């Protein structure tokens, strides 16, 4: 039996070292090796703490048994620990990221990221499963095209703000799970005129997302010049719609152009061709679609912010590796 003493801590360290040596012998590239090692390291850490927990449970059990001899020995609930360990390790050893995925900021560090699903500012009101950090991973051709768009925009004082890139399948599963629950905390801001359980049939949420294929991105345009403090001067208050505007002032103060509805507001106002959003917003949507199309991206007609690079390197694959910094 493992106990929580220094000897067993040493055993644990030896096991970690042995795993490290074993992995060193595997001809993986440096990045994939690091990912693999992190996942195995997580398992070993969990295993160590599981042994501590097992010891504690046994001590409590032994004490109780000695105090009450009539109590039958039902054995130790170690099977629970082993099942938990199995589930955890299965999850930790999820898919590895393919080599042709790149971190967008490594290509173009001046692109502004506002990764909503890594934060609580989204329709679920909390960070989404699988977003371990606020990073944008995309297939190489999609990322290259996006960096080119950003550099083109910079010539006229504009740039890209990115809301979402590659999305793990278990993040999509988290959406599905959320949709089956009664909580509607974020309804006013993100789906004000549609019932939560209609989000699937209305095709705002699906059990599989193009984002999981790695070549789809959600974005808007941001004004780099003139200084951000002056941007609110150009607002068109008389043409603002009544819905999907709760993030309007914050977004404008952050430099975002007016696109007529907030990002991720599931409403007909977000349909790209909607014509009740004011002339300036209509022009901005058309400009965004045009510049993205020029560089190989096609728009989803129900969401002005959603673009897929074509041809996709993985048109049939739905990846499930977590979003990490490296
Ligand atoms: Zn999208």
pLDDT at 32 over 60: no
* First-to-final CA distance of the chain: 38
Q: Does 114 participate in catalysis according to the annotation?
A: no
Q: How far is the CA of 266 from the centre of ligand 1 (A)?
A: 11
Environment class of residue 113 by beta-carbon count within 10 Å: exposed (0-12), middle (13-18) or buried (19+)?
Answer: middle
Residue of 203, 303, 312, 316 with catalytic role: 303
What pTM does this model have? 0.73
The class (CATH top level) of 101-309 is: alpha beta
Domain residues of the chain, as ranges? Answer: 6-92, 101-309
Confidence of residue 234 (pLDDT cuts 50, 70, 90): low
The pocket of ion ligand 1, defined by CB under 5 A, consists of: 218, 306
Tell me the C-alpha to C-alpha distance, in Å, between residue 69 and each of 60, 75, 78, 192.
Answer: 14, 14, 22, 62
Of 166, 325, 141, 150, nearest to 224 by C-alpha is: 150
Q: How far is the CA of 142 from the centre of ligand 1 (A)?
A: 14
The dihedral of CA 92, 95, 98, 104: what is its sign? negative
Mean pLDDT (the chain) is 80
Q: How far is the CA of 8 from the centre of ligand 1 (A)?
A: 48
Q: Which residue has the higher pLDDT, 80 or 293?
A: 293
Q: How far is the CA of 111 from the centre of ligand 1 (A)?
A: 18
Q: How far is the CA of 299 from the centre of ligand 1 (A)?
A: 10
pLDDT at 29 over 50: no
Q: How far is the CA of 128 from the centre of ligand 1 (A)?
A: 14
The length of the chain, given as a count of residues: 326
Segment 257-285 mean pLDDT: 95
pLDDT at 7 over 50: no
Q: State residue 95's pLDDT score.
A: 81
């Amino acid at each position: 039996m493992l106990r929580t003493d220094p000897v067993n801590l040493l055993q644990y360290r030896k096991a970690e070292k042995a795993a490290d040596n074993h992995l060193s012998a595997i001809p993986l590239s440096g990045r994939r090796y690091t990912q693999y090692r992190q996942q195995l390291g997580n398992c070993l850490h969990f295993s160590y703490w599981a042994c501590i927990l097992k010891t504690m449970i046994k001590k409590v059990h032994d004490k109780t048994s000695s105090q009450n001899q009539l109590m039958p020995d039902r054995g130790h609930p170690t099977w629970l620990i082993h099942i938990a360990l199995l589930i955890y390790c299965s999850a930790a050893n999820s898919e590895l990221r393919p080599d042709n995925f790149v971190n967008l900021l490594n290509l173009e560090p001046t692109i502004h990221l506002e990764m909503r699903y890594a934060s609580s500012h989204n329709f679920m009101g909390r960070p989404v499963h699988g977003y371990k950090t606020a990073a944008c991973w995309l297939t190489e051709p999609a990322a290259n095209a996006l960096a080119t768009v950003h550099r083109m925009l910079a010539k006229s004082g504009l740039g890209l703000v990115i809301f979402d890139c590659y999305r793990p399948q278990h993040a999509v599963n988290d959406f599905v799970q959320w949709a089956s629950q009664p909580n509607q905390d974020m309804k006013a801001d993100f789906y004000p005129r549609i019932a939560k359980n209609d989000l699937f049939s209305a095709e705002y949420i699906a059990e599989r997302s193009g984002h999981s294929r790695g070549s789809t991105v959600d974005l808007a345009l941001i004004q780099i010049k003139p200084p951000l403090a002056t941007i609110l001067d150009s607002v068109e208050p008389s043409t603002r719609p009544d819905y999907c505007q709760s993030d309007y002032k914050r977004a404008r103060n952050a430099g975002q152009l007016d696109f007529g509805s907030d990002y991720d507001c599931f409403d007909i106002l977000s349909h790209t061709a909607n014509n009740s959003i004011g002339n300036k917003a209509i022009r901005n949507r058309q400009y965004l679609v045009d510049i993205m199309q020029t560089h190989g991206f096609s728009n989803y007609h129900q969401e002005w912010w959603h673009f897929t690079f074509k041809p996709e390197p993985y048109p049939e694959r739905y990846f499930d590796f977590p979003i990490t910094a490296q």
